Amino acid sequence: MIRFWDIRTGSSTNVLTQHKKGVRGMAMHPRDYTFASVDSDKIRVWKCPEGDQLRAVSHSDNIVNTLAVNDDNVLVSGSNDGMLNFYDWNSGHNFQSLAPPVQPGTLSSEACIFDIKFDRSSMRMITAECDKTIKIWKENENATPETHPINFNPNAVY
């Protein structure tokens, strides 16, 4: 469950119980007064301070450990199988999946992503991974809709 707290009084103001399994990760949106949380079956987006659920997004069958969101409304999840999944914050559309390279000599079971953060510019993403690496990612400045098509349909139900 997710619990809202009044830090002045130390009392709970709201409890969200929509997740079916343990909550593994959360990410606050940098501009909107919203946040995302993830358990083993869904990513859920919530409105603050009420705790109204805005949407639920299905993710891969693997366990997701962490979430991050940047100023461009890109939500990223990192999972136990080492996959990074990129979602549109507003629609929940999974527009890209990526398997980062692992350190040479690493077992496939050590491809887990533990944490993701964006730097202040939101242009670089930093991942902490089970293979004992920290990777810094940047946007592909040469990407265009023709070279990296998203195939996004805003009217589709995801």
DSSP 44-74: EEEETTTTEEEEEEE--SSPEEEEEE-TTSE
**pLDDT number for residue 125:** 95
Q: What is the mean pLDDT of the chain?
A: 86
Residue 158 above 50 pLDDT?
Answer: no
Non-local (6+) Cβ contacts of 83 within 8 A are 60, 62, 97, 98, 99, 113
Structure tokens belonging to residue 100: 């980062």
Q: Which CATH superfamily is domain 22-138 in?
A: YVTN repeat-like/Quinoprotein amine dehydrogenase (2.130.10.10)
Residue 154 has pLDDT above 60, yes or no: no
Q: How many Cα atoms sit within 13 Å of 89 on the Cβ side?
A: 21
Place of tokens 């491809």: 111
Give the separation between CA 145 and CA 80, rounded to whole angstroms.
Answer: 30
Cα–Cα separations (whole angstroms), residue 63 to 22, 78, 87, 88: 11, 9, 16, 20
pTM of the model: 0.84
**What pLDDT digit, counting tens, does each position of 53-84 carry?**
999 988 767 889 999 999 999 999 999 888 99
Q: What percent of the chain has pLDDT over 90?
A: 46
Domains of the chain, by residue range, sit at 22-138
Residue with the bigger pLDDT between 40 and 80: it is 80
